[in-house]
Structure 1
Amino acid sequence: MASRTTMADPVQLSEPEFPAPEPVRGCDVCGALFGQWKQATEKGSPAYDPSHATDLAVEIGRHPHAWQKGNR
């Protein structure tokens, strides 16, 4: 009996989920990044790019704010 080297059925991947990042209110940079994030997560958008959306979410989370420096 020969061993099987392939899967019986194709793998079905789910659509990626994009948890919304939380931009800081009043920060223009966070607001602009969030706008780009929304476009990158919108299916059908020419800017749709899950990898870029992840990068933008990380950048929003790491964006420094002068009033937060003491909190880090």
Structure 2
Amino acid sequence: MTQKHYNVTGMSCGHCVASITEEVREVAGVSEVVVDLAANAVTVHGTGLDDERLRAAIVDAGYGIADPVTA
């Protein structure tokens, strides 16, 4: 299992967390999405994660990405 971390811009409430979680869960290989509103961070756990698709899911949810970091 791998994980990817993203610094997300534009999050401000629980609805933001739910929107991102819903969009990212739809990406193939995702097993868990952890959104930290206070840190403006999203961590995705899964197998065979596609960085481009994960980034697109966050953007499709209506948010920006700053300095994506893969661990």
User: TM-score normalized by structure 1?
Assistant: 0.30
For the pair shown, the structure with the greater C-alpha radius of gyration is: 1
Structure that is richer in helix per residue: 1
User: TM-score normalized by structure 2?
Assistant: 0.30
Structure that is richer in strand per residue: 2
